[in-house]
Structure 1
Amino acid sequence: MWNEAAQTMPVDQLRALQLSRLKSLLALVHDRVDFYRHRLDDAGVVPSEVTSLDDLAQVPFTSKYDMREVFPFGLFAVPAEEIVEVHMSSGTTGKPVVGGYTRADLDLWQEVMARTLDAGGLHAGDVIQVAYGYGLFTGGLGGHYGGTRLGAMTLPMSSGNTFRQLNTMADFGTTALLCTPSYALFIAEQAREQGVDLASGPLRAGFFGAEPWSAEMRSDIETKLGIKAYDIYGLTELIGPGVAAECTEQNGLHIFEDHFYPEIVDSETGAVLPAGEKGELVLTTLTRTGTPVLRYRTRDITYLIDEPCPCGRTSRRIHRLMGRNDDMLIIRGVNVFPQQVEEVLLRIEGVEPYYRIVVDRDGSMDTLEVEVEMTEGLFSDEVRTVLALERRIEHELRLALGIQAVVKLVNPKTIERSEGKAKRIVDRRAVTTSI
Structure 2
Amino acid sequence: MYWNKSCECMPREKLQELQLERLKEMVNRIYHDVPFYRNKFQEAGLVPEDVQELSDLQKLPFTTKVDLRDNYPYGLFAVPLEKIVRIHASSGTTGKPTVVGYTRKDITIWAEIMARSLVAAGADSHSVVQNAYGYGLFTGGLGVHYGAEMLGASIIPISGGNTDKQIMIMKDFGTTVLTCTPSYAIYLGDALKKKGIDPESLKLKVGVFGAEPWSDSMRKEIEKKLKIKAHDIYGLSEIMGPSVAIECEAQDGLHIWEDHFIPEIIDPVTLKVLPYGEQGELVITTITKEGIPLLRYQTHDITSINPEPCGCGRTHLRINRLQGRTDDMLIIRGVNVFPTQIESVLLELGEVEPHYQLIVRREGSLDTLEIKVELSEEMFSDKISNLEKLEKRIALRIHSTIGINAKIALVEPGSLPRAEGGKSQRVLDLRKI
For Structure 1 versus Structure 2, the TM-score category normalised by the shorter chain is 0.7 to 0.9
Distance in 1, matches of 2:198 and 2:108, equals 37
Partner of 2:123: 122
Q: TM-score, normalised by structure 2?
A: 0.77
Partner of 2:400: none
Query: Could you give the per-residue CA deviations for residues 369-421 of structure 1, whole angstroms, max 9, x where no partner exists?
Result: 89999xxxxxxxxxxxxxxxxxxxxxxxxxxxx99989x9xxxxxx777xxxx
Q: CA deviation at 1:225?
A: 0.5
Contact 1:32 1:78 in 2 (8 A): yes
Partner of 1:210: 211
Distance in 2, matches of 1:50 and 1:403, equals 39
Contact 1:186 1:365 in 2 (8 A): no
Contact 1:200 1:226 in 2 (8 A): no
Partner of 2:113: 112
Q: CA deviation at 1:323?
A: 2.1
Partner of 2:9: 8
Contact 1:278 1:302 in 2 (8 A): yes
What is the root-mean-square deviation in Å for CA atoms of aligned residues? 2.5
Percentage of pairs with the same residue:
54
1:188 aligns with 2:189: yes
Partner of 1:145: 146
Contact 2:130 2:178 in 1 (8 A): yes
Q: CA deviation at 1:200?
A: 3.3
Distance in 2, matches of 1:50 and 1:363, equals 52
Partner of 2:200: 199
Distance in 1, matches of 2:161 and 2:93, equals 26
Contact 1:68 1:91 in 2 (8 A): no
In structure 2, give the amino acid aligned to 1:290.
Answer: G
Q: CA deviation at 1:48?
A: 2.4
Contact 2:360 2:431 in 1 (8 A): no
Q: CA deviation at 1:143?
A: 1.0
Q: CA deviation at 1:50?
A: 1.4
Give the 3-state SS of the residue equivalent to 2:126 in structure 1: coil
Distance in 2, matches of 1:366 and 1:142, equals 30
Q: TM-score, normalised by structure 1?
A: 0.77
Contact 1:32 1:77 in 2 (8 A): yes
Contact 2:78 2:290 in 1 (8 A): yes
Note the residue ranges of structure 1 that are not aligned, 5 or more in a row: 330-359, 374-401, 409-414, 423-435
Count of aligned pairs between the two proteins: 353
Distance in 2, matches of 1:363 and 1:82, equals 49
| Equivalent residue runs for 1:157-236 within 5 Å | 157-236=158-237
Q: CA deviation at 1:270?
A: 1.3
| Equivalent residue runs for 1:284-295 within 5 Å | 284-295=285-296
Give runs of ≥4 in structure 1 deviating > 4 Å.
360-373, 402-406
1:263 aligns with 2:264: yes
Partner of 1:320: 321
Distance in 1, matches of 2:204 and 2:246, equals 19
Partner of 2:85: 84
Partner of 2:300: 299
Contact 1:199 1:224 in 2 (8 A): no
Contact 2:362 2:431 in 1 (8 A): no
Partner of 1:385: none
Distance in 1, matches of 2:309 and 2:101, equals 35
Contact 2:127 2:177 in 1 (8 A): yes
| Equivalent residue runs for 1:242-391 within 5 Å | 242-327=243-328
Q: CA deviation at 1:193?
A: 1.1
